[in-house]
Amino acid sequence: MTNKYNMPTIYDPHVVEDKWYKYWEQNKYFRSIVDPEKEPFCIVMPPPNVTGQLHMGHALDNTLQDILTRWRRMQGYNALWLPGTDHAGIATQAKVEEQLSKEGTNKYELGREKFLERVWEWKEQYGDRITHQLRRLGSSCDWDRERFTMDEGCSEAVREVFVRLYERGLIYRGYYITNWCPHCQTTISDIEVEHLDKPGQLYYIKYPILGSPEEFITVATTRPETMLGDTAVAVHPEDKRYKHLIGKTLILPLVEREIPVIADEYVEPEYGTGAVKITPAHDPNDFEVGRRHDLPSVQVIDREARMTKEAGARYQGQDRWECRKRIVKDLQAKGLLVKIEDLSHAVGHCYRCSSVIEPMLSKQWFVRMKPLAEPAIAAARDGRVQFIPERFTKVYLNWMENIRDWCISRQLWWGHRIPVYYCRECEEVIVSKTRPDQCRCGSTNLEQDPDVLDTWFSSALWPFSTLGWPHKTVDLAYYYPTSVLVTGRDIIFFWVARMIFSALEHMDDVPFREVFIHGLVMDALGRKMSKSLGNGVDPIEVIESHGADSLRFMLVTGNAPGNDLRFHFERLDGARNFANKIWNASRFALMNLQDYAPKKSPEHEQYTLADRWIVSRFQRTVQECTGFLEKYELGEAARVLYEFIWSELCDWYIELVKPRLYGKTGATDRELAQQVLVGVLRGALELLHPFMPFITEEIWQRLPHRGTTVMRAPWPEYRQEQVDDEAEEQMEIIMEVIRGIRQIRSEMNVPPGKQAEALIVTAVSGLREMLADNLAYIEGLANCQAQVLEELIEVPEQAATAVARDIQIFVPLRGLIDVDKELARLTKDRQVLEKDLSRVAGKLNNPSFLNKAPAEVVEKERGKQAELSSKLDAINERLAIFGGR
Numbered residues of the known binding site for ATP = 531
Q: If we measure between CA atoms, which residue out of 809, 796, 798, 800 comes closest to residue 759?
A: 809
Packing angle of the helix pair 819-844, 855-881 (nearest 10 deg): 150
The answer to whether 86 touches 48, Cβ cutoff 8 Å, is: yes
Q: If we measure between CA atoms, which residue out of 632, 629, 373 comes closest to residue 517?
A: 632
Local structure of 275: helix, strand or coil: strand
Local structure of 311: helix, strand or coil: helix
Alpha-helical runs (H) found in 522-601:
539-546, 548-556, 569-591
Q: What is the dihedral angle through the alpha carbons of 280, 282, 285, 288, rounded to the nearest 10 degrees? A: 30
Q: Give the list of residues 6+ apart from residue 194 with CB closer than 8 angstroms, or none.
A: 348, 349, 350, 351, 354
CA angle 63, 69, 71 (to 5 degrees): 100
Tell me how crowded residue 741 is: count the other CB atoms within 10 A of its CB.
26
Q: Which amino acid is at 309?
A: K
Q: If we measure between CA atoms, which residue out of 533, 536, 498, 534 comes closest to residue 515?
A: 498
The answer to whether 882 touches 858, Cβ cutoff 8 Å, is: no
Distance CA 828, CA 824 (A): 6
> What are the CA-CA distances from residue 819 to residues 615, 768, 875, 876 (Å)?
44, 32, 14, 15
Strand partners, 407: 366
Distance CA 758, CA 524 (A): 46
Give the residue numbers of the binding site: 531
Distance CA 617, CA 716 (A): 13
Helix (H) or strand (E) holding 800: strand 799-804
Q: How far apart are the first and last CA of the chain?
A: 63
Q: Strands (DSSP E) along 505-569, which ranges?
A: 512-518, 521-522, 565-566
Q: Give the list of residues 6+ apart from residue 536 with CB closer than 8 angstroms, or none.
A: 55, 56, 529, 530
> What are the CA-CA distances from residue 222 to residues 179, 308, 326, 346, 825 (Å)?
18, 20, 15, 11, 72
The answer to whether 187 touches 294, Cβ cutoff 8 Å, is: no
Q: What is the DSSP letter of 520?
A: P
Strand partners, 423: 446
Strand partners, 365: 173
Distance CA 629, CA 779 (A): 39
CA 206, chain centre distance (Å): 50
Local structure of 243: helix, strand or coil: helix
Q: If we measure between CA atoms, which residue out of 744, 794, 786 comes closest to residue 768?
A: 786
Strand partners, 208: 216
Q: If we measure between CA atoms, which residue out of 559, 551, 462 comes closest to residue 520?
A: 559
Alpha-helical runs (H) found in 310-410:
320-333, 370-381, 392-401
Q: If we measure between CA atoms, which residue out of 217, 237, 229, 207 comes closest to residue 302?
A: 229
Half-sphere exposure of 826 (CA within 13 A, CB side): 24
Strand 358-367 to 171-181 pairing: antiparallel
Distance CA 314, CA 327 (A): 10
Distance CA 643, CA 640 (A): 5
Strand 84-85 to 147-148 pairing: parallel
